């Protein structure tokens, strides 16, 4: 189904679709197998303007809406979920608070180069004892002359091994309210910990991060006041969920396309297996799941762009899209049977990578609680 896209949206979607078909998809397996942050492709995305899409023109951005961003991101994820994860982190979570709250020096030294793919940003929320329970964040920021001293540990920090700067959520003030800080990689007391080996998205590096007596100057407290991190975090999480849904859409479309192609070519008992009802049923269910996910994700993005409350819609979109994508990838592997288990076929990568979308932005169990809570308002 084609949404009523504007000519600009169609052009942008087509531009990224061509980039994926020509540059990314043929090298997607190599990107993952290298287990290395794909800097070359990140720079190419920067040249295409991807990191500038969501920011206003006054900040050097393109001033485009979330719906358009999701169209482009879904295409990138169709080619490589590893690359899409890197792209989403750089374009949104890793740079958003710099643009929104950073001073002129931060904008010039870090934000503008990040849009060009020259510097890499990351966001630090999750801790060993604070995953879904973000109220459990325990990293502290103690006020001292000229700044703050950060102490604590973060984990599951996406892009940490290659990041030049980190947006850090910590407890500040006597009331220990959630506050946002910018920490540069070369600050004293910053230690990038062990890499976390994952079953999928191998080119998206993830690791622990520790702060020990880490001095952060006042100029790098992004929060305008101690405690405004809660409000910013709630707003950002809704956007992250919609974006994660868009990435799930991309890998789901890739898996569905591969299963459809294989079913039309694979011969059994003298005819293609897509002539058998069992396979037809799988393909029909996969296509229906994919179509429903498209509607939910783009509806949530539309709500965001229209400025209407969308916490519930964002949670629904991410919940359904990620679960549907996981089902689609599983069914695609079943359609390919033995070849769905073979490393030479991409379905095994889709099956491994898709679980990333089940976690990022909140687990399905947490999203159901959010949806139910919003329904009761």
pLDDT tens digit sequence for 219-259: 999 999 888 999 998 889 999 999 999 999 999 999 999 99
Among the listed residues 232, 193, 231, 367, the one whose alpha carbon sits nearest the alpha carbon of residue 296 = 367
What is the chain's pLDDT, residue by residue, as a tens digit (377 residues)?
Answer: 446 899 999 999 999 999 999 999 999 999 999 999 999 999 999 999 999 999 999 999 999 999 999 999 999 999 999 999 999 999 999 999 999 999 999 999 999 999 999 999 999 999 999 888 888 999 999 999 999 999 999 999 999 999 999 999 999 988 899 999 999 999 999 999 989 999 999 999 999 999 999 999 999 999 998 889 999 988 899 999 999 999 999 999 999 999 999 999 999 999 999 999 999 999 999 999 999 999 999 999 999 999 999 999 999 999 999 999 999 999 999 999 999 999 999 999 999 999 999 999 999 999 999 999 999 98
How many residues are present in the chain?
377
Whole-prediction pTM: 0.96
Q: Are 201 and 86 in contact (CB under 8 A)?
A: no
Alpha carbon dihedral 52, 54, 55, 56, in 10-degree steps, equals 110
Q: Are 109 and 232 in contact (CB under 8 A)?
A: no
| Residue with token string 């002539």 | 275
Q: For residue 168, what are the CA distances in angstroms to 145, 147, 179, 210, 374? A: 20, 15, 8, 11, 28
Q: For residue 307, what are the CA distances in angstroms to 132, 221, 302, 314? A: 26, 28, 9, 13
């Amino acid at each position: 189904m084609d949404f009523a896209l504007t000519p600009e949206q169609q052009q942008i979607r087509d531009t990224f679709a061509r980039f994926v078909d020509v540059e990314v998809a043929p090298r997607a397996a190599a990107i993952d197998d290298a287990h290395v942050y794909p800097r070359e492709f990140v720079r190419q995305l920067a040249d295409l303007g991807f990191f500038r899409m969501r920011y206003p023109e006054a900040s050097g951005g393109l001033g485009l809406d979330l719906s358009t961003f999701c169209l482009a991101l879904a295409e990138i994820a169709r080619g490589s979920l590893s690359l899409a994860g890197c792209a989403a982190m750089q374009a949104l979570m890793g740079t958003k608070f710099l643009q929104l709250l950073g001073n002129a020096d931060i904008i010039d030294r870090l934000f503008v180069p990040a849009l060009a793919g020259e510097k890499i940003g990351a966001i630090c929320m999750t801790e060993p004892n604070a995953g879904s329970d973000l109220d459990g964040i325990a990293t502290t920021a103690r006020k001292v002359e000229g700044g703050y001293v950060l102490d604590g540990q973060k984990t599951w920090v996406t892009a940490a091994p290659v990041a030049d700067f980190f947006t850090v959520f910590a407890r500040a003030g006597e009331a220990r309210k959630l506050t946002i800080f910018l920490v540069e990689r070369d600050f004293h007391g910053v230690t990038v910990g062990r890499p976390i080996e994952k079953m999928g998205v191998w080119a998206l590096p993830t690791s622990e991060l520790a702060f020990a007596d880490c001095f952060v100057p006042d100029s790098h407290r992004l929060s305008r006041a101690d405690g405004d991190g809660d409000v910013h975090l709630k707003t950002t999480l809704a956007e992250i969920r919609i974006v994660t849904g868009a990435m799930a859409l991309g890998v789901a479309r890739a898996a569905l396309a591969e299963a459809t192609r294989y079913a039309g070519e694979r011969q059994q008992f003298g005819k293609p297996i897509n002539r058998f009802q069992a396979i037809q049923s799988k393909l029909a269910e996969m296509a229906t799941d994919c179509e429903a996910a498209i509607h939910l994700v783009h509806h949530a993005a539309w709500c965001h762009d229209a400025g209407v409350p969308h916490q519930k819609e964002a949670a629904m979109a991410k919940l359904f899209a990620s679960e549907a994508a996981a089902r689609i990838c599983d069914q695609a592997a079943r359609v390919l049977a033995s070849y769905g288990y073979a490393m030479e076929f991409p379905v095994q990568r889709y099956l491994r990578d898709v679980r990333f979308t089940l976690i990022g932005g909140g687990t399905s169990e947490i999203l159901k609680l959010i949806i139910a809570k919003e329904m009761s308002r």
